[in-house]
Structure 1
C-alpha cells in the first residue's frame, strides 16, 4: 500500500508541470525522440531531458536508446493507476453531491408543502 501511495505521489508530482503534461499528451500519439519532444516547446535538450527524467521517476514513461537517439514511450500501467485513483475519488464525490442534491430537493418540497 505504501509503495502504491509513493508511486501515485511521484506520478502526480510529475504531472504537476504543464510542459510535462504536454509531453505525456504527445506520447499518447506514440513513441518520440527527445528532439521531437523538445521541438514544440522551443526549449533546449538539457531542459527537456530534465522533464523526461521527472516523468521517468514518476513511472509515467520509459526511455530506450536506439542508435544515437533516445526514444521515449508512455507506460500505460502508470496512467491506469492514476486514472483508477481519480476515478475512485470522482465516484465518491459524485455520490456525495447526488445525496446533497436529493436532500436539497426534499427540503424544497417540504417548504412548498408547508405553504
Structure 2
C-alpha cells in the first residue's frame, strides 16, 4: 500500500550509518540501510525494521536493543518508529536505574 502523503526526503546519510557501527556498538552482522526514495515509515521493506538516528544520539538506545524494550514494543503492538522520543528516553532511563538497583524488570512489573 502506498502512502498518499508526501514525506520529506530522509536526512540520514551513509556516514550516519557508519557512525552507528562505530559509536553505538551495532554489530557488523546487522545490515543498516538508508530508506529508499519511495519508502515511508508505513512501507518499510520486509525483513527490515525502522529507527531514527536521534534514538541513538539523544535517547540512549544501543545495540543490541534490550529485551525489555522489545517486550514493551510487542506488548503495545508498536514499532520503534511509533514511539515518541520522550517515551523511549524515559523507558531507557527506567531500565538503566532498575539494572543499577539490581532489579529484574519485565512486563509483569507494569
TM-score by length of 2: 0.26
Q: Larger % of helix: which? A: 1
Q: Larger % of strand: which? A: 1
TM-score by length of 1: 0.25
